[in-house]
A and B are shown apart, each in its own frame.
Chain A
Amino acid sequence: NAGVMQNPRHLVRRRGQEARLRCSPMKGHSHVYWYRQLPEEGLKFMVYLQKENIIDESGMPKERFSAEFPKEGPSILRIQQVVRGDSAAYFCASSPGPQGRTDTQYFGPGTRLTVL
């Protein structure tokens, strides 16, 4: 049973470049979440998506960040014109959707973005 897959695992970008992070959810999961973990800080929610829909983007920075989860293919988190402060570990999680009282999120291995 393949878990949540993320690629690349490590990504180096220079200031001003674009970063694209990919996430393939677990088989049978239709809900995807993105979190960011800054050094010495906790995981922070960014965005929640279902196929072709953004459900909650309350944690996304207003500029330069976007996310999508198309009908076919992985979810993409896109960061335009990266700055040094974007350096962090970005984690994707997936879930099957609310079942009963709650809905467990399973995390991928993360993409570690370094901005030079």
Chain B
Amino acid sequence: EDQVTQSPEALRLQEGESSSLNCSYTVSGLRGLFWYRQDPGKGPEFLFTLYSAGEEKEKERLKATLTKKESFLHITAPKPEDSATYLCAVQVTNFGNEKLTFGTGTRLTIIP
């Protein structure tokens, strides 16, 4: 069974204090790993897709990286507006199986 585990469950940082969120996965074959951001009371907002080990993608203060077993979301010099829950999801290789399997998320709070 495909599994996604995110850690930590919650993280509080001071504004400007860089850190990383972890997403470890166990799947039969990875087609893509996705990062989403979710604000309270809203739907997940797409951030990145990663396809293969060694790949990296960046957007503003966020950088996502991928290995064969896990992905990291690095946040550099965060601001209060980066506070949200960050979700990781995987999609497996057999086409026709389009569903995303999500982790339970990391709730990030940036303190001014």
Contact = CB atoms under 8 A, between A and B. Distances in A.
Interface stretch (A61-69, A80-88, A98-106): A98-106
Contacts of A105: 34, 46, 100
Interface in B33-91: 34, 36, 42-46, 49, 51, 87, 89, 91
11 contacts: A6-B43, A43-B102, A45-B99, A48-B99, A56-B98, A102-B32, A102-B91, A106-B46, A107-B44, A107-B45, A110-B42
A16 interface: no
Nearest to A4: B43
Interface of A: 4, 6, 31, 33, 35, 41-45, 48, 55-56, 58-59, 91, 95, 98, 101-110
Contact of B102 (A42, A55, A106): A42
Interface residues of B, number: 26
Contacts of A59: 99
A107 B98 contact: no
B96 interface: yes
* Among all A-B residue pairs, the 6 with the closest Cβ atoms: A107-B43, A102-B32, A45-B99, A42-B104, A43-B102, A42-B102
A18 B56 CA distance: 46
Nearest to B98: A48
Contacts of B105: 42
B86 to A, nearest CB: 12
A21 to B, nearest CB: 13
Contacts of B36: 107
A95 B97 CA distance: 14
Contacts of B31: 101-102
Contacts of A42: 4, 87, 102-105
